[in-house]
Amino acid sequence: MNDSARILLLDPFHGGSHAAWAQGVKQGLTQKGHRVDLKTFHANHWKWRMQGAAGIWAHELQSMSPPDVLITTDMCDLAQLKGLLPATWHGVKCVVMFHENQLTFPWSPTDNDPKLGRDLAYSYINVSSALAADQVWFNSAHHRRAFLDAVDTWMAKMPKPRLPRPAARIAEKSHVVHLGLSFEDWDALRPEQPGNWEGCEVPVLLWNQRWSWDKGTDVWMALVHGILKHNIPAEFVVMGESKGRVPEGWEAMRDNMGSRCLQWGYADSKADYVRWLWRSTVAPLAPKQEYFGLAVIEAMRCEVMPWVPQLHAYTETMPAGHRYMEPESWFDAFRNQTWKTWPVAPKAYREKANSFSWKNVIAKLDSLIREVQTS
């Protein structure tokens, strides 16, 4: 019996880790014998994507032959999409992948929606999408727990009558599916003397996150300021995406770094990005949220020491024996050169990162697709 599936993958916010995931899913499931079509929208205007992507796709898919399985993400209103598709699509099995969610994602202090109560609408899109799906995937166990814990709390704020047992109903069909990463040819880009802390004299601090307040840019800038003020030996590599709006003080930090800043801005190519990872020593990071932490895993693959708190998904993604670091201890650790006597070897971080390679992740995805197809 041929149980391969015709899969339609809809990615309404196709950029960064979302795009890497969608492309990896398409390639991996195709190699497993499935046929995968991918449709995308650009990674901007996230609120409109959550509200409008479903209606636009429902119109575009009217004349398309229904697939066996439809996969989309938390940025699409799956309940709306199912309601607008023709009756010929009613037998299609639907999966929603949660990269993040609007119940627990911290809202920007400059956004007026929470003050006006409009944030609740985006939360409901996530809840109704999960209820409408045949399977719900979360990119970490931490994310699954956080979402399910928040659902009933959120529902209690609503006027009666309320949805019955939403968290329990979602939990019954939910699965943890870690993000997959591709590390092909990364070792070939390793320099003769990588930047890891074994034998290093001047550490290179790495930032490879979005230039966004929710990633903890405030505490990172405070660390840089302290290092420069006290003239502690250190250099800096600052990469990552900016969506046109940077945190206050970010550009001034660049000026203050001067020649200590080895790289500033988005890398010219993936190979350049990997080379800068290999040259880095430590990645101090204390974000407001982290549902998986793809950029941290990429840094670990190149033996960069992650200084992260014992929060979020990090308890799933760090190797055994990892020492968690709160931002309050970062400066003293640099001043006292604690990084030189780190208890975990660089190889352990590389091996832990490799455990999230696509070849290890795609087998579970394939199993879940075959399961939902026959359910």
Whether 180 and 24 have beta carbons less than 8 Å apart is answered as yes
Kindly state the average pLDDT of the residues 11-26. 96
Contacts of 225 (CB under 8 A, 6+ apart): 253, 256
Q: Are strands 69-73 and 35-42 parallel, antiparallel or unpaired?
A: unpaired
- Percent pLDDT > 70 in the chain is 96
Rounded Cα–Cα distance for residues 148 and 127 (Å) = 10
Between 243 and 203, name the one with better pLDDT: 203
- Provide the pLDDT for residue 2: 64
pLDDT at 19 over 70: yes
Kindly state the average pLDDT of the residues 232-255. 92
Q: Which of 283, 284, 214 is nearest to 243 (CA)?
A: 214
Rounded Cα–Cα distance for residues 373 and 93 (Å) = 6
Which tokens go with 372? Answer: 């939902």
**Between the CA of residue 45 and those of 12, 42, 134, 191, 345, what are the distances in Å?**
10, 9, 27, 39, 42
**Between the CA of residue 93 and those of 58, 89, 90, 175, what are the distances in Å?**
15, 9, 8, 16
- Provide the pLDDT for residue 106: 74
Per-residue pLDDT tens over the stretch 335-368: 999 889 999 999 999 999 999 999 999 999 999 9
CATH entry, 6-180+357-373, from 3.10.310.40, 3.40.50.2000, 3.40.50.2300, 3.50.50.60: 3.40.50.2000
Lowest mean pLDDT among 125-139, 218-232, 244-258, 303-317: 244-258
Whether 78 and 54 have beta carbons less than 8 Å apart is answered as yes
Rounded Cα–Cα distance for residues 136 and 83 (Å) = 18
Instruction: Bin 45: left if φ > 0, else alpha if -120 < ψ < 50, else beta.
Output: left
The reply to whether 6-180+357-373 and 187-354 are identical in fold is yes
- Maximum separation of any 2 CA atoms in the chain, in Å: 69
Kindly state the average pLDDT of the residues 30-52. 96
CA 123 to centroid of chain Cα atoms: 18
- Provide the pLDDT for residue 273: 98
Per-residue pLDDT tens over the stretch 282-341: 999 999 999 999 999 999 999 999 999 999 999 999 999 999 999 999 999 999 998 899
Q: Are strands 235-238 and 261-264 parallel, antiparallel or unpaired?
A: parallel
Beta partners for residue 237, in sequence order: 206, 263
- The mean pLDDT value of the chain amounts to 94
Rg (alpha carbons) of the chain, rounded to whole number: 22
pLDDT at 115 over 70: no
Per-residue pLDDT tens over the stretch 199-242: 889 999 999 999 999 999 999 999 999 999 999 999 999 999 88
For CA atoms 237, 241, 244, 248, the dihedral sign is negative
Which tokens go with 199? Answer: 């034998």
Q: How many residues does the chain have?
A: 375
Coil, strand or helix at 85: coil
pLDDT at 179 over 70: yes
**Between the CA of residue 270 and those of 189, 267, 276, 375, what are the distances in Å?**
11, 7, 10, 40
- Provide the pLDDT for residue 243: 72
Instruction: Kindly report whether the peptide bond that precedes residue 161 is cis, defined as omega within 30 degrees of 0.
Output: yes
pLDDT at 171 over 70: yes
The alpha carbon torsion through 139, 140, 142, 146 (nearest 10 deg) reads 20
Whether 291 and 97 have beta carbons less than 8 Å apart is answered as no
> Where do we find the tokens 């004349």?
63
pLDDT at 1 over 80: no
CATH 3.40.50.2000 fits 187-354, yes or no: yes
- Provide the pLDDT for residue 241: 83
**pLDDT grade for 111, boundaries at 50, 70 and 90:** low
> Where do we find the tokens 């699965």?
175
Neighbours of 193 (CB within 10 A): 10
Sketch the domain layout of the chain as residue ranges.
6-180+357-373, 187-354
What are the helix (H) ranges across 61-200? 78-84, 113-116, 119-132, 141-155, 166-171
Kindly state the average pLDDT of the residues 80-105. 96
Per-residue pLDDT tens over the stretch 45-78: 999 999 999 999 999 999 899 999 999 999 999 9
- Provide the pLDDT for residue 114: 59
Identity of the residue numbered 27: Q
